[in-house]
């Protein structure tokens, strides 16, 4: 049986962590509880974003991604993972798509698929790959 402790957490490491936090807050209606943990230079060491009282996404400056795990992220390579965000209405999806597309890659743009009212793939300016969807009802 699934319980809340068994959830999959999401954490992104990006250049420009503070800017990414503001983008994701606006795109997905998220909030910060308390204060993010900052380093001595004011960079985000760890910031948890919340939605409806639940953890949604954590963000850190890319320099905190352990060097033993990755050397340098090859930007030319295709993303190997995406974050799926489900929306209740097309207006909220379109808003998120427009915000995430600025300076990023809107991929094939907005589209309806056999399983969706509206969906899209978008890679934001931080290199994070998103799939946004309003499911067909």
- Pair 121, 131: CB distance under 8 Å: yes
Residue range of the domain that includes 21: 8-64
Whether residues 134 and 84 share a domain: the answer is: yes
Cα–Cα distance measured from residue 32 to residue 51, given in angstroms and rounded to the nearest whole number: 9
Q: Is residue 70 a part of any domain in this protein?
A: no
Give whole-number Cα distances, 119 to 6, 52, 72, 107, 123, in Å.
Answer: 27, 23, 31, 11, 14
Q: Is residue 1 a part of any domain in this protein?
A: no
Q: Is residue 73 a part of any domain in this protein?
A: no
* Domain CATH code at residue 84: 3.30.720.110
Q: Read off the pLDDT of residues 48-94 as tens digits, 9 standing for 90 and up.
A: 999 999 999 999 998 887 665 555 545 555 566 789 999 999 999 99
Provide the 10 A C-beta neighbour count for residue 54. Answer: 8
Q: Is residue 30 a part of any domain in this protein?
A: yes
Domain count, the chain: 2
Q: Read off the pLDDT of residues 102-116 as tens digits, 9 standing for 90 and up.
A: 999 999 899 999 999
- Report the greatest alpha carbon distance in the chain: 50
- Pair 20, 49: CB distance under 8 Å: no
Whether residues 134 and 90 share a domain: the answer is: yes
């Amino acid at each position: 049986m699934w319980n809340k402790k068994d959830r999959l957490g999401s954490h992104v490491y990006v250049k420009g962590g503070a800017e990414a936090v503001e983008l994701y807050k606006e795109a997905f209606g998220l909030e910060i509880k308390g204060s993010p943990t900052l380093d001595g230079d004011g960079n985000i060491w760890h910031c948890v974003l919340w939605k409806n009282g639940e953890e949604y996404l954590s963000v850190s400056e890319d320099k905190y991604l352990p060097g033993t795990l990755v050397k340098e992220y090859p930007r030319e390579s295709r993303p190997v993972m995406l974050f799926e965000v489900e929306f209740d209405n097309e207006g909220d999806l379109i808003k998120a798509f427009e915000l995430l597309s600025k300076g990023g890659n809107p991929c094939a743009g907005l589209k309806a698929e056999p399983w969706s009212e509206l969906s899209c793939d978008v890679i934001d300016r931080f290199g994070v790959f998103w799939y946004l969807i309003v499911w067909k009802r």
